[in-house]
Amino acid sequence: MDTGAGGSESEQRDYREEVSAFVERFAADLVAAGMARMPARIFACLLAEDAGALSAAELSERLKVSPAAVSGAVRYLAEMHMVGRERVPGERREIYRIHADLWYETVTSRDQMLNRWAATLKQGVEVLGPGTPAGVRAEETADFFNFVKLELDSLMDRWRAHRGR
């Protein structure tokens, strides 16, 4: 049911309620995966918006939360490179937009994190001793992160090919 632009008042209200329920369900999934509740709700709300962007006032109104809650959550999402801030031309207000290549950027940042972790763990092997139980665990963990990194590289290549179809 696509009644975002047309339809009776009742149909539009039903549509808004269904979208709101979807936003809350997806936000709950993100919270279950470790994201804080307010950033999860704001991210899900932006994802559900056709334009992929809303102002702080619009987010506050749709989620029925304070502007301060929106501000803190958007700051977190921007730091995580999940949303960007844009000035509305000719106005003082900003809008918050989901990045076009959000999932690619998220995986790429994880790739960089895996490299750092593997390098630190390799240094840890030397400190802990390669033959000690702790050193063996650190080595195996570093090997696992290197394996995951290679798999992510391959996965992203396949994703780009799939998306290009």
Q: What is the block-wise mean pLDDT of the chain (165 residues), using blocks of 10 residues? A: 65 87 96 95 94 93 94 92 87 87 73 89 95 96 93 86 83
Decide: 139 and 121 in contact? Cβ < 8 Å. Answer: yes
* Dihedral (CA of 67, 70, 75, 81) sign: negative
- Predicted pLDDT at 5: 57
CB 148 within 8 A of CB 114: yes
3-state secondary structure the chain: CCCCCCCCHHHHHHHHHHHHHHHHHHHHHHHHCCCCHHHHHHHHHHHHCCCCEEEHHHHHHHHCCCHHHHHHHHHHHHHCCCEEEEECCCCCCEEEEECCCHHHHHHHHHHHHHHHHHHHHHHHHHHHCCCCHHHHHHHHHHHHHHHHHHHHHHHHHHHHHHHCC
Please name which of 39, 36, 42, 3 lies closest in space to residue 23, comparing C-alpha atoms.
Answer: 42
**Where do the domains of the chain lie?**
9-98, 102-163
| pLDDT value for 140 | 97
Instruction: For residue 144, give both structure tokens.
Output: 């696992």
Task: Record the pTM.
Answer: 0.73
Q: What pLDDT is attached to residue 38?
A: 97
pLDDT at residue number 1: 46
State how far the Cα of 106 lies from the Cα of 140, in Å rounded to an integer.
25
> Could you say which of 3.40.640.10, 3.30.420.40, 1.10.10.10, 3.40.1190.20 is the CATH number of the domain covering 9-98?
1.10.10.10
Q: What is the CA angle 69-75-79, rounded to 5?
A: 150
